[in-house]
Structure 1
Amino acid sequence: MSSMEELLASWKEKFRPHADGAQLPPHHTHCLACGPDNPHGHHLAVRRRGEEVHATHVFDERHVGAPGIAHGGAVATVFDDLFGFLLYLTGGPAVTRKLEVLYDSPVILGSTYDLAARITRTEGRKFFMEADMKQLGGSRVASASALFLSVEVTHFNQGMPR
């Protein structure tokens, strides 16, 4: 079986119905945000809660921007990946068309944050999404909105080795 065939087979399994409360599988093992085998990644663990996806995350020294503060790009990466997990609820793949992140206060390294994302509406192949990042049991530190476009799985042939 080719790498693309293996990818397609594994993705079909991921885009199946997932029970409420279930931990969702990583997009792939080396994904920057959720891949368990990426030594530089965030190792994001995401669960379904109704029609939302949720995660708890701690940014560490690999994600530093200013001293003691997470890099804005690291925060954006986590939001983008969290939105990607919503696709497991839609039944098919999509790609990021637009991502906007609003930073309300610094995201402190070593602190625990709760994240939640939801699809707010769909129009044809467009998925409009929103997410929040809050201090554990506290106030919002960042929020994001995104537009994803559904694609055929063959879209990802472009990234496969030739």
Structure 2
Amino acid sequence: MKALAVDRAEVTAFVALGANLGHAAQALRDALTALGDTPGVRLVQASRLYRTAPVQSTGPDYVNAVAEVSTTLTAPALLDALQAIEDGAGRQRPYRNAPRTLDLDLLLYGSARIDSPRLTVPHPRMAQRAFVLVPLAEIARALVSAGQLAAVADQTIEKI
């Protein structure tokens, strides 16, 4: 399903990016470009790239980042756009937490709380993952508490 921009107020959203197959860093750069080229989405800023070990997964280390976007898309339409970008990068879903060419997760969509079979916002596991919290804190410090960062301090994460 192709996401379409509608005439509505912009919402600030945050998207986590990750990849651990192929040229992962380039996949994230390409995804950021594609995100900014999506109708109804404006890329505001992105964190640096980080390297992390897989969490509840296997395979090579991941490259991760977080992007802030401003969008006129609804949350489900933004999710459609993210999945279209993943599909364009060759994303396959053979099993839960499989290694991937690209993973885009909608972390936050304004102040919305969404709990549907297809989408949960805020992302239900974001507070448990250094690979989300550290890059999110880099670009939106007010959204991440010192306590949240302390809770994931044992997870190895390094700037690339």
Structure 1 or 2: more helix by fraction: 2
Structure 1 or 2: more strand by fraction: 1
- Shared fold per TM-score greater than 0.5: no
State the TM-score, normalizing by the size of structure 1: 0.30
Who wins on radius of gyration, i.e. which is larger?
A: 1
| Greater RCO (CA < 8 Å, at least 6 residues apart) | 2
State the TM-score, normalizing by the size of structure 2: 0.30
